[in-house]
Amino acid sequence: MGRRLKLMRIAGVDIYLHWTFWIAPIYIVYIARDFGDRAWLVTGVLIFLLLNLSFCVLLHELGHALMARRFGVTTKDIIITPIGGLARLTWMPKKPNQEFLISFAGPLVNLLIGVFLGGVVFFSGGSLLPSLSFDGLDQLPVIMLWVNLVLFLFNLIPAFPMDGGRMLRSVLARRMSYYKATVIAGRSGQLSAFLFLIFVLWEKHYLLVLIGLFVFLSARFEMKQARLSQASEVRCDSIGSAGRF
């Protein structure tokens, strides 16, 4: 995965920060210039929010890792990037129910965080809707509440490389081959990426083009891996059949 910085080890899993993560704070400093005299305040608050978001992403990936451990699957490491995290499992179970639970565990963590923060804000008498004005860190709980709910819903999109894509594959794999299920989820990912690219180009959010390309290429990679896996299984079956004669 290129150069990375080891942060810690949790539950036997090494946690790394990918070098591209530093693009995010650099971009924050860049956009904060528009706030004039408040630029440093805005920069500090946004970087603090970035750290909180990265922590939630880490908990999300740990959800995948701990659920995978229940099925005897170990996790090589977890890598935090500026556009999310990656829990690298040694292998993904091809039993649909197991893959579904491992994939859903991550978004479920975000949902639980959102519900917890919602309870804290509600019972403390605060508003569950963030203010449109910039008020510093006093709105951190409600902001992170909605961030985690967005992460929960975003990851349920039924398209690779989101968790919803793997959940979709696990559901389809109950009625068709694992390869065909992967292709359908992969095509869904590529279509989603294509529509996203059209949107960000139309809105002139050019930096977000990288996210669209990442999603598109990740979906293609998943389909390629499934194709190689299917070819390998066919060769093994052919060799086994030949050996019986």
Q: Alpha-carbon distance 19 to 169, whole Å?
A: 31
Question: Which residues share a beta bridge with 14?
Answer: 9, 77
Tell me the CA distances in angstroms from 9 to 79, 108, 240, one per residue in order.
Answer: 12, 22, 42
Q: Alpha-carbon distance 225 to 218, whole Å?
A: 11
Count of C-beta atoms within a 10 Å radius of residue 130? 16
Could you tell me the two tokens for 178? 């694992």
Sorted by sequence, the CB contacts under 8 Å of residue 110 that are 6+ apart come out as 56, 59, 60, 148, 149, 151, 152, 155
Name which of 63, 92, 61 is nearest 77 in CA terms.
Answer: 61
Name the residues annotated as catalytic: 61
For the chain, helix, strand, coil in percent to 5 are 70, 10, 20
DSSP β-ladder status, 75-81 and 13-18: parallel
